[in-house]
Amino acid sequence: MNISIVTPLYNEAENLKEFYKRIISTLEQVTEKYEVIFVNDGSTDNTLQLASYIAQNDNRIKIIDLSRNFGKEIALTAGLDFSLGEAVIIIDADLQEPPELIAELVKKWQEGYDVVYAVRKKRGKEPLIKTVLAYLFYRIMKKISRTEIPADTGDYRLMSRQAVDALVKFREQHRFMKGLFSYIGFKQTGVPYKREQRHKGKSNINLIKLWNLAIDGITSFSFAPLQLASFTGFSIAVMSVIYAFYMIIKTILYGNPVPGYPSLIVAVTFLGGIQLLSLGIIGEYVARIYMESKNRPLYFVKNLKNFNKDNFISGQAKVKRYF
């Protein structure tokens, strides 16, 4: 069996050597035919140089050097576009996801599953706020999305060639890969694992990036924010009508005393805030429509290493057009 490993790299020089050692050790116990695709996503340290040195001494290591930093979701897409394996495994290089789990993922694939995702049963030491927000995000997405996204799962997973061929057909700009993994369907199952601490260095993911990713996920797979804005506006309108009738009856029975200034200010600011919030929600969706309408290429490739240039086909996805 042929297996492709897709690993996005952004400033992972401190972890790359150990990752290469462990991933190769694991793969050699599973199959003799494999490729490891490093996607350099505009690293600013010596990640590319180290990856190139590894690839120079091992032609099973392939490198896609993107022209700049496009973000992890796009880097994953590039790696999937170029992958050729019967099964494709996505894994990060920070070693929080143990490469040794690959044998179990492959076993499930051989049982007939098209997508085998790793489920975090225990997380490594992470900031409490990040853990809480991640927990809440997955539960909220499960409630509001029509696509069921497994809770506590990241990008670490195995996909069959049929699943990858389906996935690479999506060329949207704002990509929430965890949602797309579920959207394609096919037979899926999870494998539990304990998430380790990052091997070395600091994570490139901060709360702002996580917030933007959450917004992409919600707007890509749910209309709930728009429906909530509509429901809120309708509810306020109904309450306003009821309050108007109340004021009319009160005026007829007790006269019309001058209303208090504080209550007027509260009402105006509250309604103003609701209007701005609703406009902001609508703006998020409109901005995404605007970006998609441009139909820009997802990424540009600066350089390739150890690829056969007569073989740039990933299932049904011809990737020549993307660079």
pTM attached to this predicted model:
0.70
- pLDDT tens, residue by residue, 230-289: 777 767 766 766 776 776 676 667 665 656 555 666 667 677 767 777 777 777 777 777
Helix (H, G, I), strand (E, B) or coil at 59: coil
In the chain, pLDDT over 70 holds for what percent of residues? 68
Instruction: Report whether CATH 3.90.550.10 matches the domain 2-204+296-322.
Output: yes
Average pLDDT, the chain: 77
User: What pLDDT, on a 0 to 100 scale, did the predictor assign at position 313?
Assistant: 39
Query: What average pLDDT does this structure show over 202-221?
Result: 64
In the chain, pLDDT over 90 holds for what percent of residues? 3
- pLDDT tens, residue by residue, 59-84: 888 999 988 888 888 888 889 988 88
Q: In sequence order, what are the beta bridge partners of 160?
A: 87
Cα separation values, 188 from 34, 85, 113, 184, 199, Å: 23, 18, 6, 10, 29
Whether the pLDDT of residue 186 is over 60: the answer is yes
Strands 313-314 and 87-90: unpaired
Both tokens assigned to 236: 């306020």
Query: What average pLDDT does this structure show over 215-232?
Result: 67
260 vs 301, more confident:
301
Q: How many CB atoms within 10 Å of residue 55? A: 18
User: What pLDDT, on a 0 to 100 scale, did the predictor assign at position 223?
Assistant: 63
Of 103-107, 144-148, 268-272, 307-311, give the lowest mean pLDDT range. 307-311
b/e 236-248 (16+ beta carbons within 10 angstroms → b) = eeeeeeeeeeeee
Query: What average pLDDT does this structure show over 281-301?
Result: 77
194 vs 122, more confident:
194
Q: Pick from 265, 310, 247, 322: which is nearest to 66 by CA? A: 322
- pLDDT tens, residue by residue, 28-71: 888 888 889 999 988 888 888 898 888 888 888 899 998 888 88
User: What pLDDT, on a 0 to 100 scale, did the predictor assign at position 158?
Assistant: 92
